[in-house]
Structure 1
Amino acid sequence: MVGTGEGGAAAADAVLLGFVRAVRAAGVEASTERAYAFLRAVDVLRPGVRADVYWAGRATLCGGHDDLERYERVFAAYFGPSGESARPVVRHAPPPRLRLVTRDAPAGSRAPGEGEPAGPPTATLASATEVLRHRDVGELDAAERAHLHRLLAAFALSGQTRRSARRRPARRGDVDPRRTVRELLRRGGEPARLRRHARVDRPRRVVLLVDVSGSMAPYADALLRFAHAAVRGGRTEVFTIGTRLTRVTRELSHRDPDLAMAALAAAVPDWRGGTRLGELLREFLNRWGQRGMARGAVVVLLSDGWERDDPELLGAQMRRLHGLAHRVIWANPRKARPGYAPLAAGMAAALPSVDDFVEGHSLAALERLAAVVRGAEAEGVSVARVRGAERA
Structure 2
Amino acid sequence: MAEQIPLTLPEHPRLAQNILHFARALRRAGLPVGPGRVVDAVRAVEAAGFTDRMDFYWTLHACFVSRPEQRLVFAQVFRLYWRDPRYLEHMMSMMLPAVRGVQEEKRAQSAEKRAAQALLGDALPDLPEEPPEEEATKIEVDASFTVSREERLKSLDFEQMSTEEIAEAKRMLARLTLPVKPLPSRRGIASLRGRRIDGRRSLRAALRQGGELRELAYLKPREKWPNLVVLCDISGSMSQYSRMVLHFLHAVANRKGAGWARVHAFTFGTRLTNITRHLATRDVDAALRAAGAEAQDWEGGTRIGGCLHAFNRDWSRRVLGQGAVVLLITDGLDRDDAGLLGREMQRLHLSARRLIWLNPLLRWDGFAPKAAGIRAMLPHVDSFRAGHSIASLEALGEVISSTGDSGEKARLMALLQE
Q: Against the structure 1 CA distance between its residues 357 and 243, is the aligned structure 2 distance closer, same or farther, given a 3 Å change threshold? A: same
Q: Is the 8 A contact 1:331 1:369 kept in 2?
A: no
Looking at CA atoms only, which structure, 1 or 2, has the larger radius of gyration? 2
- Look up the match of 1:146: 167
- Look up the match of 1:384: 409
Q: Alignment RMSD, CA only?
A: 3.3
Equivalent position to 2:151, from 107, 130, 142: 130
Please give the alpha-carbon distance, in whole angstroms, between the structure 1 residues aligned to 2:184 and 2:158. Answer: 37
- Look up the match of 2:184: 163
TM-superposed deviation, 1:266: 2.2
Please give the alpha-carbon distance, in whole angstroms, between the structure 2 residues aligned to 1:280 and 1:382. Answer: 25
2:285 matches 1:285: no
TM-superposed deviation, 1:312: 1.9
- Look up the match of 2:351: 324
Secondary structure, in 3 states, of the residue corresponding to 1:250?
A: helix
- Look up the match of 1:172: 193
TM-superposed deviation, 1:298: 1.9
Q: Against the structure 1 CA distance between its residues 104 and 293, is the aligned structure 2 distance closer, same or farther, given a 3 Å change threshold? A: same
Mapping of residues 32-51 of structure 1, within 5 Å: none
2:226 matches 1:201: no
Q: Is the 8 A contact 1:331 1:359 kept in 2?
A: yes
Q: TM-score, normalised by structure 2?
A: 0.58
Mapping of residues 1-392 of structure 1, within 5 Å: 125-126=144-145, 127=147, 128-159=149-180, 161-173=182-194, 174-183=196-205, 194-232=216-254, 233=258, 234=260, 235-290=262-317, 293=320, 296-375=323-402, 383-385=408-410
Q: Against the structure 1 CA distance between its residues 352 and 270, is the aligned structure 2 distance closer, same or farther, given a 3 Å change threshold? A: same
Please give the alpha-carbon distance, in whole angstroms, between the structure 2 residues aligned to 1:169 and 1:382. Answer: 39
TM-superposed deviation, 1:262: 2.1
Please give the alpha-carbon distance, in whole angstroms, between the structure 1 residues aligned to 2:315 and 2:220. Answer: 32
Aligned residues: 272
Q: Name the structure with the higher strand share.
A: 1
TM-superposed deviation, 1:376: 7.0
TM-superposed deviation, 1:329: 1.4
TM-superposed deviation, 1:183: 4.4
TM-superposed deviation, 1:193: 5.5
Question: Per chain length, whose mean CA-contact separation is higher, i.e. which structure has more relative contact order (CA < 8 Å, sep 6+)?
Answer: 1
Secondary structure, in 3 states, of the residue corresponding to 1:329?
A: strand
Q: Is the 8 A contact 2:329 2:358 kept in 1?
A: yes
Structure 2 gaps, min length 5? 1-121, 125-134
TM-superposed deviation, 1:156: 2.8
Q: TM-score, normalised by structure 1?
A: 0.61
TM-superposed deviation, 1:169: 2.3
Please give the alpha-carbon distance, in whole angstroms, between the structure 2 residues aligned to 1:343 and 1:320. Answer: 23
Structure 1 gaps, min length 5? 1-90, 94-102, 106-120
Q: Is the 8 A contact 2:178 2:396 kept in 1?
A: no
Please give the alpha-carbon distance, in whole angstroms, between the structure 1 residues aligned to 2:243 and 2:188. Answer: 41
Structure 1's consecutive aligned runs of 4 or more residues displaced over 3 angstroms after TM superposition are: 123-126, 158-161, 177-195, 381-388
Q: Is the 8 A contact 1:253 1:260 kept in 2?
A: yes
- Deviations 1:227-259, CA, capped at 9 Å, x for gaps: 212323442211001011011111112233222
Q: Name the structure with the higher helix share.
A: 2
TM-superposed deviation, 1:158: 4.7
- Deviations 1:303-354, CA, capped at 9 Å, x for gaps: 0111122222111111222222222211101110232222222112111212
Q: Is the 8 A contact 1:159 1:205 kept in 2?
A: no
Q: Is the 8 A contact 1:335 1:358 kept in 2?
A: yes
